[in-house]
Amino acid sequence: MRPYIDCHNHIGRTIDRVPPVGQNTAMCLTRFAETHIHAAISMPTAVGSPISRGVVDIREQNEVIARACRDFPGVFPIGLALIEERFGKLGIEEAERAMSELGLVGIVGHPPIAEWCIPFVEAAAAREGLVNLHMHNVLMDEIAAMFPHCTFISHASTWGAENLAKHDNVFFEVVQYPDGQGSEWDFAWFADKVGRERLIFGADLPYYDYRVLQKTIEQAPIDDDLKDRIAYKNLEALIQRFKPDWSVPKAPPQTVRVYDPAELWAVNPDNPVRLTVFA
């Protein structure tokens, strides 16, 4: 299989899902080793991560990402800081600290996203940073226009391709499904709508068994250049905007621990693309 770079890797725990899900850095490395993922942009987990101590928990989650980037710079060349509506100005200050002091290159927000995110995006845009708001709607259209020197990752949905492609600062993430579970990818159509140089692969660990998507890409009736661009070439170039000296490692990371596959890749039997591992 060709190498893959993942633009959408969470490290941490989401405790409000049934069952809860999560992965630590070591488990992530082992999953990558098994699936030809050579590197990833990493970020804290989605809403539902532990915040019993308030902004202190957000800070510690950002530090986990910064530590992964520091300890494994080839695999985790850049990372994003978590933003949270509930902490207001303190949350903005934490995002700025994570970018200025921890070396994270931008921010990630999780649904539900609304106008409250704009001051956070402004902090990232001041640093010409990278932003993933998990959003592909009218507000995303407005924000991409509002911050032309900020780079955004948005879901490669049909709506997004038809309405966000006009923004040169938006990359389109091939993750899970284009328009909800069960919808099918037409990579040639997306490449025509947004440009083949802006499609990038997203695994969405620890929530989704992305091996399904890798198989879809490998078997798609498209040329090898487009497959390579989605899998790693476009994201390599994007990462190098923020870390010019970095290049794709020649091999995936080494396996950290030999897991029983039933443990490492356990899924919900009622929704077999949804992982249920809690580490």
Tell me what pLDDT residue 122 has. Answer: 98
Tell me what pLDDT residue 62 has. Answer: 97
With a cut of 70, which residues of the chain have pLDDT below it?
Answer: 47-48
- Total structural domains in the chain? 1
Whole-number Å distance between alpha carbons of 184 and 216: 9
Tell me which residue has tokens 């798609």.
220
CATH number of the domain residue 41 falls in: 3.20.20.140
| pTM, full prediction | 0.97
Tell me what pLDDT residue 17 has. Answer: 76
Tell me what pLDDT residue 47 has. Answer: 67
Contact between residue 81 and residue 88 where contact means Cβ atoms under 8 Å apart: no
Q: Which domain holds residue 270?
A: 4-275
Task: State the CB neighbour count (10 A cutoff) for residue 216.
Answer: 15
